[in-house]
A and B are shown apart, each in its own frame.
Chain A
Amino acid sequence: MEAASLKGESIGAQEMTDIGARLRDMDKVKIDTQVVFPSLFLTTTAEDLSLEAALLRAYNSFLGECSAASKGRIRFGALVPIRDVDASIKELKRAAKMGAAAAMLHGMAWDKLLGDESLFPFYEEAANLNLPICVHLGWGCPAMTDIFDASTNFYSAILPVTIGFHSILTSRVFESIPNLRFAFLEAGCGWVPYLVRQVRRDNARRRKARDPIEYFKTGRVFVTCEADEDINSVAELIGEDSFVLGSDYPHGDPSRQEDMVAEFRERKDFSPRMVEKMLCDSPRRLYGL
């Protein structure tokens, strides 16, 4: 309570128990639509699968009500008990009717890599619903969480996003499911060139997937970028059309971009058109909005 109270945003806005306050905060920084992801559920919460599923249903229901109260300005990444693919499909269908704009996964699905083909039926349903899979920073692999000191996000929360990227881009998922889109969120974009090289090496042996750049350039893969990164050098590799921006509101960690819209529109190292792509066009294509 004390830490939450110290933030600039009201408690009701942070919790979305006061939608009006939340929307006023968005208006202040010229955000029309937010796609919302969790805080507590950035980690695995319960080993008991049915309890986890119940918690996630409660989350999705709450976010669905918030989305309706905001008249669609607030959308959300649906949470699913991914260890049970059939239950995840059922919950994603329910969440889609309530305003979900994506399905959120961590970089690993508990003990499975995201490219594990047992997850493909879930991805197929997401594609059928026109929802992307958003791989978000988080502690999705309990074994990794146990190994590393989680006082730093890097080892057990950020690195798994890159593991997820490698696993997906070396799998045959994009060839198997034509309309599927993936995004990799809150891990920056500076790692993309390194991972593209790694993926190319592995794909040369496995031959399950096309060159990763093709998936960026055809609107299948997106990545968030942050203000202190060399975004232009990454754009030289993947093009300008795959970047999206996230404010991380109302978190107070280093990923937070307080006045993201104004900051990027004032930048002189990007063309105005590229900035509008990052703020408007690319997230609209990612989320199908």
Chain B
Amino acid sequence: MIVIDADAHVEESQAMFDRLIKSITAAGRYRYGSTATRFSENTMPYGSSRGKPIPSWSAKAGPFSARPLSWKRLR
């Protein structure tokens, strides 16, 4: 019989997003590293990136509304 843990978690790390950042930067959809529009107003809440600033993002064109959410409120 295979024992299945039906609900475990991963703590997202910067590594998870690094390739994404490269891919969308290459596509020109978003510019990584700008402080003009922030992905979050706070810091990475989990894992080894906890406490580090969440990458900030900005749209190259068009409206952009990143949700300002204080991660510290969540856990």
Contact = CB atoms under 8 A, between A and B. Distances in A.
Interface of A: 1-4, 11, 14-17, 26, 30-48, 50-51, 54-55, 57-59, 61-63, 66, 76, 136, 139, 142, 145, 149-151, 183, 185-186, 224, 244-251, 253, 260-261, 276, 279-281, 283-284, 286-287, 289
Interface of B: 1-13, 15-17, 19-20, 24, 29-30, 39-40, 44-52, 57, 59, 64-67, 69, 73-75
A4 B57 CA distance: 25
A31 B7 contact: no
B23 to A, nearest CB: 8
Query: Is chain A's interface secondary structure helix, strand, loop, or mixed overall?
Result: mixed
A147 to B, nearest CB: 12
Contacts of B45: 39-40
A18 to B, nearest CB: 11
A65 to B, nearest CB: 10
22 contacts: A1-B50, A1-B52, A14-B10, A15-B12, A16-B10, A37-B7, A38-B9, A38-B10, A39-B45, A40-B46, A43-B74, A45-B69, A46-B66, A62-B16, A76-B10, A185-B7, A246-B8, A247-B5, A250-B11, A276-B1, A279-B3, A281-B1
